[in-house]
Structure 1
Amino acid sequence: MNKVVINTRVLSSGLTGVQRYTLELLARLPDKLQPVAPKTSLHGVLGHAWEQFVLPARLKGRLLFSPSNTGPLLVEKQVVTIHDITPLDHPEWLNPKFAKWYQFLTPRLACRVRRVIVDSEFTKDRICEATSVESDKVIVIPLGIDLRFSPKLEEDVNRAKKTLGIPNMEYVLTVATIEPRKNLQRLLEAWHDACQKLPKNVWLVVAGAKGQRSIFRDASFNGLPPNVYMAGHIPDEHLPALYSGALFFVYVSLYEGFGLPPLEAMACGTPVLTSNVTSIPEVVGDAALTVNPYDVEAIAHGIKRLVEDGELRAKLSRRGIARAKMFTWDKTAELTWRVLEEVAN
């Protein structure tokens, strides 16, 4: 069969989960996928115009794989991956124009294409509820874990901490961008309550967050709570060591189509405190401590419990390593190719 055309317009943007997914599949299916993208980086209206009107003309009857939530409505012979439906479920979190475009596009695209791939049963259920797409057309294929994520030696952890300017201390780690669904405000409020009952040498390291005004706009305090270190953006190569050195990883996101960071932490042997909503429980199973992310008191109790209970941390560490081994990019690529091959034939 001919190579499947893969829409790689998304790769002109910075590295996020969707770009990582696309790159991991390309790396494993190089002889089966033919990348097609604009000659120059196109974003916004121009990017969507290229995708809707130029891309279809370049297919010449071949199957199109669109791996990043979007694709041309003109093309029925297409498989699209929809990682989540935030624009339909929580448009209030997004730029209004962005939300409206995907509110228009997503239901029509899901019904138009041959197959829809999703990362979790949660997202499958939400797509089937929010659109008229048939359930058997939506295929669940979980994401994978990069092999870089594994327990690191103490010297690697110390080197990463020194490079990132993190003081020599016991720390709880969170990786969060400033956006409503990552729930950083409630986490900081919970830390404010919990840290008063914790040893003075335990800190919260916030990686990836910028713009304190965004954090504090609606919060009940005017500055950082005690013992919080804002690490800023963390280069990708330092993340495994930073996970490995943490007492535990906390990720109380309000909405995920999958949720890679908790699994990355687990793969590094780091205990995880995370949310009990959306896709996260099906991803972490019984290998994490889960709490209601809307309940500041519950988050604070979870933090205090994991800081104080070394036996629980050890148990979650063992379970997390075993759980993370179930999710590999090789398996993701194999299952994805099976869907593409079936549709192409």
Structure 2
Amino acid sequence: MSVVVNTRTLSAKLTGVQRYTQEIVNRLAHRVELVAPQSHLEGVAGHAWEQFVLPTLLRGRLLWSPSNTGPLMVSHQVITVHDAVPFDHPEWLNPIFAGWYRFLLPRLIPRVRRIITVSEFSKTRILEHAQVDPARIIVIPNGVDSRFRPHKDQEHLNLIKRLGIPSCHYVLSLGSLEPRKNLDRLLKAWELLCEEVPEDIWLVVAGAKGKAQIFRDVFFEKLPPRVYFTGHVPDEYLPALYSAALVFVYVSVYEGFGIPPLEAMASGTPTLTSNQTALPEVVGDAGLTVNPFSVDAIAEGLRKLIGDSALRQTLRQKGLERSLQFGWDSIAERTWTVLREAASE
């Protein structure tokens, strides 16, 4: 059996989709052939290569397209669809990008052998927008790298100094800073709360800063006290950044999966997250979940975690145990089983 993997997107900036693809293909490299353009192609050029050049390279072999898209003319194919954002929230995307996916996916999904998705939530959203037998949609979650684990205090101190974080005691928020990550409500919740908590506890927001859309819906004349923006954090710093945090908060309003809470739990950090979309599937009973549309609920969740050391210890232990269910080795094997079955049809 021969399987070809469409790795066109691996040359793009590292995001959750690229991490998913890289982790699995690293483990299946001896079983599959990787195919990508000879040079990095973005936008229309990349999609044109995928639709018209990639099919000519297959020679009857099964294709796995792991990044939300694939060539429409190839039915002998498995695709991974991570979420249904182009349908559920096209306003968050470039209009051309959203329009292309809204055209492509309802036509591609019914044609291919199998569809892998990363949560039961995403499966329900795919079924809402594409006519396909539910049995052909296989849920296989994302994973967490073994780099994410509790780190030693000295590693914490070195990182805090390197990033200029003002205190060793901080609540961490991490993720791409965009409207669905709900930064505006988090900042409002912190404003309600910050005078109640010890003065050495800060809110640290990690991610690229300076983008106008981040603050589009934030109505502060100035930021609340004790908020620190790190800017972009290199990938190699993330394990210690999670591990050093008192609490991790991730109150996104929409996720097809949500890797950061899983990474935080694997790092031994008590986690507060949204009770919406796929996030409850990720944290189970190992995290505290709140309504992300309620500033008061976010503030109360933070208040509980910051003020209750016993609760933090309970969630720390539960998070470490739960994260063991999401090893990339087993996820790669489950993915290979789907590919093998599809190739044999």
Q: Same-fold call, TM > 0.5? A: yes
Q: CA–CA distance in 1 between the matches of 2:303 and 2:211?
A: 25
Map 1:153-168 onto structure 2 (within 5 A): 153-168=152-167
| Cα-Cα RMSD | 1.0
Q: Which residue of 2 aligns with 1:258?
A: 257
Q: CA–CA distance in 2 between the matches of 1:212 and 1:188?
A: 16
Alpha-carbon contact 2:175-2:260 (below 8 Å) kept = no
Q: CA–CA distance in 1 between the matches of 2:70 and 2:184?
A: 34
Q: CA–CA distance in 2 between the matches of 1:191 and 1:209?
A: 20
In the superposition, relative to structure 1, how do residues 173 and 236 fare at CA in structure 2: closer, same or farther (>3 Å)?
Answer: same
Alpha-carbon contact 1:216-1:223 (below 8 Å) kept = no
Shift of 1:166: 1.2
Spell out, residue by residue over 1:141-196, the C-alpha distance to the aligned partner (whole angstroms, 9 max, x if none).
01111000000000011111111111233100010222111111111111111112
Q: CA–CA distance in 1 between the matches of 2:292 and 2:69?
A: 29
Q: Secondary structure at the match of 1:326?
A: helix
Spell out, residue by residue over 1:211-240, the C-alpha distance to the aligned partner (whole angstroms, 9 max, x if none).
264333322212221000100111111111
2:198 pairs with 1:192 = no
Q: Which residue of 1 aligns with 2:140?
A: 141
Query: Partner letter of residue 232 of structure 2?
Result: H
Spell out, residue by residue over 1:299-325, the C-alpha distance to the aligned partner (whole angstroms, 9 max, x if none).
011111111111111110010000000
Q: Which residue of 2 aligns with 1:57?
A: 56
Spell out, residue by residue over 1:90-138, the C-alpha distance to the aligned partner (whole angstroms, 9 max, x if none).
1111111111111111111111111000001111111112211110000
Q: Secondary structure at the match of 1:111?
A: coil
2:87 pairs with 1:78 = no
TM-score norm. by structure 2 comes to: 0.98
Q: CA–CA distance in 2 between the matches of 1:178 and 1:260?
A: 15
Q: How many residues align?
A: 344
2:14 pairs with 1:12 = no
Q: Secondary structure at the match of 1:274?
A: strand
Q: Which residue of 1 aligns with 2:305?
A: 306
Query: Partner letter of residue 167 of structure 2?
Result: N
Q: Secondary structure at the match of 1:112?
A: coil
Q: Secondary structure at the match of 1:334?
A: helix
- Point out where structure 2 has 5 or more consecutive residues left out of the alignment: none
Return 221-230 or 312-321, whichever deviates more. Answer: 221-230
Q: Which residue of 2 aligns with 1:271?
A: 270
Map 1:162-181 onto structure 2 (within 5 A): 162-181=161-180
Q: Secondary structure at the match of 1:299?
A: helix
Q: Which residue of 2 aligns with 1:230?
A: 229
Q: Secondary structure at the match of 2:100?
A: helix
Alpha-carbon contact 1:216-1:222 (below 8 Å) kept = no
Query: Partner letter of residue 46 of structure 1?
Result: A
Q: CA–CA distance in 2 between the matches of 1:177 and 1:124?
A: 23
Return 316-325 or 172-181, whichever deviates more. Answer: 172-181
Q: Which residue of 1 aligns with 2:92?
A: 93
Query: Partner letter of residue 39 of structure 1?
Result: Q
Alpha-carbon contact 2:157-2:168 (below 8 Å) kept = no
Q: Which residue of 1 aligns with 2:294?
A: 295
Alpha-carbon contact 2:273-2:290 (below 8 Å) kept = yes
Spell out, residue by residue over 1:251-280, the C-alpha distance to the aligned partner (whole angstroms, 9 max, x if none).
001111111100100001100000000011
Q: Secondary structure at the match of 2:125?
A: helix
Map 1:21-60 onto structure 2 (within 5 A): 21-60=20-59
Q: Which residue of 1 aligns with 2:123?
A: 124
Q: Which residue of 1 aligns with 2:68?
A: 69
Q: Which residue of 2 aligns with 1:335?
A: 334
Q: CA–CA distance in 1 between the matches of 2:165 and 2:218?
A: 25
Query: Partner letter of residue 9 of structure 1?
Result: R
Q: CA–CA distance in 1 between the matches of 2:332 and 2:209?
A: 34
Query: Partner letter of residue 301 of structure 1?
Result: E
Q: CA–CA distance in 2 between the matches of 1:212 and 1:18?
A: 22
Q: CA–CA distance in 2 between the matches of 1:71 and 1:213?
A: 32
Alpha-carbon contact 2:179-2:213 (below 8 Å) kept = no
Q: CA–CA distance in 1 between the matches of 2:191 and 2:211?
A: 16
Shift of 1:285: 0.3
Q: Which residue of 2 aligns with 1:322?
A: 321
Return 145-154 or 207-216, whichever deviates more. Answer: 207-216
Alpha-carbon contact 2:274-2:291 (below 8 Å) kept = yes
Alpha-carbon contact 1:176-1:184 (below 8 Å) kept = no
Q: CA–CA distance in 2 between the matches of 1:18 and 1:192?
A: 33
Q: Which residue of 2 aligns with 1:150?
A: 149
Q: Secondary structure at the match of 2:190?
A: helix
Spell out, residue by residue over 1:58-85, the C-alpha distance to the aligned partner (whole angstroms, 9 max, x if none).
1011000000000000000000000001
Query: Partner letter of residue 190 of structure 2?
Result: W
Spell out, residue by residue over 1:7-62, the C-alpha distance to the aligned partner (whole angstroms, 9 max, x if none).
00001101111111111111101111111011111111111110000000110110
